[in-house]
Amino acid sequence: MTLIVTVQLQDRAADHGALGLLVPCGISTNRQRLLSFEPPQGSRIRLLPDRDSDQMVAFVEAPSADRLTLRYGFAAETGGLSEQAFLSTENRWSRAARALAAEAETIALAAGYGRAGIQALVEATAAKFRYGHPAEKYYDGQDAIPHLGCGLTEGSCVDINAYLMAALRSAGYEAAYIAGYFFPRERDGLTNDMHCWVATRHEGEILEWDIAHHMKIGEARIAAAYNPKPGERWAVGYGLGHRFQLDDREVEMKLLAEPMWLLPDGHLADAMLEIRVS
């Protein structure tokens, strides 16, 4: 299988002097094996290691072509998710606030820990959200993932899974935040943007959880499932919070998924993408 991501340069970020494009180099998981990564041909590429994991990004410097195409080759077989994916990386996107950590421990204890505790934390997280893409995130401006009380908070898959990850790890569970792309069955190999999900590992068993897709299909009870919504998914990165050194500049990224423009002020901007599988 080949995952093809095409980046259009005629967009807002490229027109405003972006220094270059940051592209995740791909990963293997328990569901896929990364066979190859092909950066855009004819461009100057620099590989940058993540300071907090064993992942890398390709920095495509000052591209001038009308469009850039990058390819990932995958096999649908066990490749092995890096052990680092299950390790805690302390940063503002992964650290649970004290109230959230306390609630997570209480929920897991009431369920008797084990797999039942994981299920309870997944359900408790789902009960706090309604699916959406708010302009302001519930964790904006915070130095940890805050506890959400009564009522529903609007959040995307990124936001929901950040909360779930913080809760799971606070209760002592091994959990990995995985990001990539989901291709709905009805779209015949095309998709619009990135998607993310959570994998837990308990007593050697790895389970995938996708709260957002359960919400989209109207399923109230969240079950462990790789594709609760029919389609296929391919991961290109894991974890929340990444740091890359580019000359004398430290670049911080929330997650590794879609290619992102690096702007002169150090901020990142979305790219205009076409994403397909063949």
For the stretch 227-262, pLDDT in tens is 999 999 999 999 999 999 999 999 999 999 999 999
The alpha-helical segments, DSSP class H, found in 16-146 are 98-110, 114-126
Q: Does 219 score more than 60 pLDDT?
A: yes
DSSP 205-222: EEEEE-HHHHHHTT--S-
Torsion sign over Cα 61, 71, 13, 153: negative
Q: Does 98 score more than 60 pLDDT?
A: yes
The burial class, CB within 10 Å (0-12 / 13-18 / 19+), for 24 is buried
Q: Does 205 score more than 90 pLDDT?
A: yes
Model confidence at 100, pLDDT cuts 50, 70, 90, reads: very high
Nearest to 246 by CA among 16, 40, 19, 63: 19
Torsion sign over Cα 57, 60, 62, 68: negative
pLDDT for 36-88, tens place per residue?
A: 999 988 889 999 999 999 999 999 986 666 788 999 999 999 999 999 999 87
Domain ranges of the chain: 2-80+248-277, 85-236
pLDDT at 61: 87
Alpha-carbon gap, residue 268 to 262, rounded angstroms: 5
pLDDT for 20-39, tens place per residue?
A: 899 999 999 999 999 999 99
Quote the pTM value: 0.95
Share of the chain above pLDDT 70, in %: 96
Q: Does 12 score more than 60 pLDDT?
A: no
List the beta bridge partners of residue 184.
231
| Protein fold of 85-236 | C8orf32 fold (3.10.620)
What token pair was written down for 136? Answer: 């302001």
pLDDT for 113-136, tens place per residue?
A: 999 999 999 999 999 999 999 999
Average pLDDT, the chain: 94
Q: Do 259 and 273 contact (CB within 8 A), yes or no? A: yes
